[in-house]
Amino acid sequence: GQQVMQIPQYQHVQEGEDFTTYCNSSTTLSNIQWYKQRPGGHPVFLIQLVKSGEVKKQKRLTFQFGEAKKNSSLHITATQTTDVGTYFCAGLNAGGTSYGKLTFGQGTILTVHP
Amino acid sequence: EAQVTQNPRYLITVTGKKLTVTCSQNMNHEYMSWYRQDPGLGLRQIYYSMNVEVTDKGDVPEGYKVSRKEKRNFPLILESPSPNQTSLYFCASSLIGGDEQFFGPGTRLTVL
């Protein structure tokens, strides 16, 4: 079945440093979504990428979707302590009989040292 | 306020005692889903529902049942819970399948 691998599992940075997390899918995706989960909280939607090669920005966050629609990345520029949390990618199966099946990556836990 | 609610938020039970975790959304969403979250494994989809009376297995459906009799509710049923079902469970909904998902606050379940 579809697998989504996310790396790294943990990332510790000093405040002001950049941060990147990567997702790779074993199959072609219809779209990919990114979520953030604060410690003790629930996942909150950040963005959805649909088109091959798409790049979207939200302030200091840059999201990319690969040309083959099998990989994606999230880059945070100049991290702040408010960026602390776990970042998940989630890939939507590209058709067939299981269109609604969403597969999450394992998540990257980001800690930011002030 | 638009939201997804889950009950209970915390539950400690014993092996074999049937339980139901309720999930309700007030956004008229068609799509609803259940996930379990375990350290190092991320969120794994248990079941999802594209609409009323339509449910499908996710990646880890064994030991769970769901039903979708009404649009707003999507209960998760554990007929005979076992310790390996100890986990943090999230319900989520979206307007349609594939759209951004809104998550409930989570239910922390411990099976002794």
pLDDT tens string B9-50: 999 999 999 999 999 999 999 999 999 999 888 899 999 999
Q: CA geometry: angle at A54 spanning A93 and A84, to 5°?
A: 80
pLDDT category of residue B1 using cuts at 50, 70 and 90? confident
| pLDDT for res A98 | 57
For residue B45, the chain A residues in CB contact (below 8 A) are: 101-104
Please confirm whether the linkage preceding B8 is cis (ω < 30° from 0): yes
- Mapped onto helix, strand or coil, the DSSP state of residue B110 is strand
| pLDDT for res A97 | 56
Say if the Cβ atoms of A106 and B106 lie within 8 Å: no
B45 vs A33, A102, A105: nearest CB: A102
User: What's the CA gap between B47 and A23, in Å, rounded?
Assistant: 23
pLDDT category of residue B98 using cuts at 50, 70 and 90? confident
| pLDDT for res A96 | 57
The pLDDT of residue B63 is above 90 = yes
B42 vs A42, A45, A104: nearest CB: A104
- pLDDT over 70 percentage in chain B: 100
Contact A1, A67 (CB under 8 A): no
Beta bridge partners, B90, equal B35
Burial of B14 (0-12, 13-18, 19+ CB in 10 A): exposed
Say if the Cβ atoms of A99 and B97 lie within 8 Å: yes
Write out the E strands in chain B: 4-7, 10-13, 19-25, 31-38, 42-51, 54-57, 65-66, 76-78, 87-94, 102-103, 107-111
Please confirm whether the linkage preceding A8 is cis (ω < 30° from 0): yes
- Mapped onto helix, strand or coil, the DSSP state of residue A83 is helix
Mean pLDDT within B74-95:
97
Mean pLDDT by 10 residues, chain A (114 residues): 90 97 94 96 97 97 97 98 97 70 92 95
- pLDDT over 90 percentage in chain B: 89
For residue B43, the chain A residues in CB contact (below 8 A) are: 43, 88, 90, 104, 107
